[in-house]
Each structure stands twice: as structure tokens, then as C-alpha cells.
Amino acid sequence: MDERELIRRSQQGDGEAFGVLIERFKGKVFSLAYGFTQDRTAADDLAQEVFIKAYFSLPRFKARSEFGTWLYRIAVNHAKDFLRKNRSRQKDISIDEIGENRLAAGEKSQEDLRSVEERRATVLAAVERLPEKYRVVLTLRDIEGMSYEDIARILDLSPGTVDSRLHRARQKLRQRLTTSLNRQGGDDGL
């Protein structure tokens, strides 16, 4: 069944049709939430909440944009709200939760592994400290791999604004990382 038909049926209360939409988008919504929270449990909760919000908002969906874009906008706004509410309760980020390939213990010494983990934690902390408008664009582009056009639609910005914010986000991140890594006694590449 094509997406338009699934949306039409979902708007008429067909739970099975909405279930198919969830199946198609759950990985992307979870990945987006995880990119913002770096916490699997929180990302799972956020993804479920996004689909609940989408379900109740579905009657107002007019298909002026793609369903995925509309859903991502809900997800981004919900993740931003979550982060604002939970800023005071932020936890330390576990390196195991970053989602990157882990280095095999046999390939690197414990010291090398610690160094890599420290650098990853430093990068994540620097991203977390970016102003929200930069962190959101950086997350969508560099972590989620979205196109400028998709980001522009999701955030209701022009592609030029997305490009500008992404440039500034990377610049600010580079400055913070340079300062932080120099304090740690290393200025070689990440």
C-alpha cells in the first residue's frame, strides 16, 4: 500500500495503517531522538511519544509536505522540548552508547582505548554545549545525514540559513574542541 493511502486510512482511524507508517519510520525517528539525547532509553521513549503526537495530529496533516518531513518536524520539536526540560538532569554520556563502531581490545592498548574514549566524550560534550539552533542543524546534518533541503523543510528555514548555521556550528565546535584538546595536552587530529 502506498504512503498516501496509509495516511488517508490512518486519518480515518485505521490503526493497522498507522502501524505500517510507524514501522516505516520508527528507525529514523529513534535515530533522530538518539542523536539529540545520546541515551537509548530516552530516545525510545521520545520516539514513542512522537508517534503518539503524530497520531493525534494526523487529522490536521494536509500533505503540503512529505509525511516524513512532517513527522521529523514533530520529532525535532519534541526532542528540543525534552532537552530544555531535562537540562538540569543531564547524565554523563557513556561511550558505549555513542553508536560508533567500538575498537577491538586486541587491536589497541588500554591507553589507546582510553584516549579514544576521552576524545569522543570531549566531542559529545562540546556538541551538547552548542546553542540549540546550531546543535539541531549539526545533529540533523552530520549525525543523521539529512540533506540541506530536508533540514530546511523540517526546521522551516531556508537552505541558505541551514548552510549558514551549519557553518557556524562547525566553526564553534572546532573552536571548543581545539581549546579543550589543548587543555588535555593533545592537539593532534580527532
Where along the chain do its domains lie? 3-89, 107-183
Task: Classify residue 98 by its DSSP letter.
Answer: S
For domain 107-183, the CATH class is mainly alpha
Predicted pLDDT at 95: 38
Q: Is the pTM of the predicted complex or chain greater than 0.85?
A: no
The reply to whether 107-183 shares the fold of 3-89 is no
Query: CATH code for 3-89?
Result: 1.10.1740.10
Predicted pLDDT at 65: 83
Predicted pLDDT at 185: 59
Euclidean distance between CA atoms 111 and 173, whole angstroms: 25
Euclidean distance between CA atoms 175 and 171, whole angstroms: 6
Predicted pLDDT at 92: 42
Cell of 145: 545525514
Predicted pLDDT at 29: 93
Q: 112: helix, coil or strand?
A: helix
Predicted pLDDT at 186: 52
Decide: 81 and 63 in contact? Cβ < 8 Å. no
**What long-range pairs does 77-85 form, CB within 8 A, spacing at least 24?**
78/46, 78/49, 78/50, 78/53, 79/32, 79/33, 79/36, 79/37, 79/46, 80/36, 80/132, 80/136, 82/36, 82/37, 82/42, 82/46, 83/36, 83/37, 83/132
Question: For every one of its 190 residues, what pLDDT tens digit does the chain have, with 9 covering 90 and above?
Answer: 899 999 999 999 888 999 999 999 999 999 989 888 888 899 999 999 999 999 999 998 988 889 999 999 999 999 988 888 876 444 444 434 444 444 444 455 677 777 777 777 777 788 888 898 999 998 888 888 888 998 999 999 999 999 999 999 999 988 888 877 667 655 444 4
Q: How far is CA 51 from CA 19, 26, 130, in A?
A: 10, 8, 28
| Sign of torsion over alpha carbons 20, 25, 31, 37 | negative
Predicted pLDDT at 104: 43
Residue the block writes with cell 549558514 = 164
